[in-house]
Amino acid sequence: EVQLVESGGGLVQPGGSLRLSCAASGFTFSNYWMSWVRQAPGKGLEWVANTKQDGNEKFYVDSVKGRLTISRDNAKNLLFLQMNSLRAEDTAVYYCARVGYHYDILTGFYWYFDLWGRGTLVTVSS
């Protein structure tokens, strides 16, 4: 079955750290860009970070730069999010998402999130 399963969420104090994991199965993980997307309670979706297939290119939303780090282990089909210096505003459900694509010979690549995990809740509170 094609799926993504997140783990590692929980309650952490402000300034603390947490490491999220996402286990991929049913597809060739190393062929895809992967992302983390978060959703604060009762709020909308916010893209957090991307990593290229080989892990050598990474991109982040400005609000997490220097504090959150995305990485991957293609041998184990795992995606990670290392979260340091956590703040109350980082409280959210964190989704692992596959960056899917469609290629058209005339118009090139189309990019979107085509596979999502169920999410893991991170609560930053004292």
Partner 1 sequence: EIVLTQSPGTLSLSPGERATLSCRASQSVSSKYLAWYQQKPGQAPRLLIYGASSRAIGVPDRFSGSGSETDFTLTISRLEAEDFAVYYCQHYGNSLFTFGQGTRLEIK
3-state helix, strand, coil in the chain (%, to 5): 5, 55, 35
- CA dist 114 and 124 (Å) reads 29
- Using only C-alpha atoms, what is the Rg of the chain? 15
- At its nearest, how many Å lie between partner 1 and the CB of residue 49? 10
The CA distance from 117 to 95, in Å, is 6
Residue 44: partners with Cβ closer than 8 Å, 6 or more residues away: none
Min dist. Cβ of residue 35 to partner 1 (A): 7
Q: Which is nearer to partner 1, 17 or 102 (CB)?
A: 102
What is the 8-class DSSP label of residue 27?
S
Note the residue count of the chain: 126
Backbone angles phi, psi at 89, to 5 degrees: -75, -5
Nearer to partner 1, 104 or 126 (CB): 104
Contacting residues toward partner 1, per CB under 8 A: 35, 37, 44-47, 50, 57, 59, 61, 95, 100, 102, 107-114, 116-119
Shorter beta-carbon distance to partner 1: residue 107 or 126: 107
Instruction: CB nearer to partner 1: give 66 or 126.
Output: 66
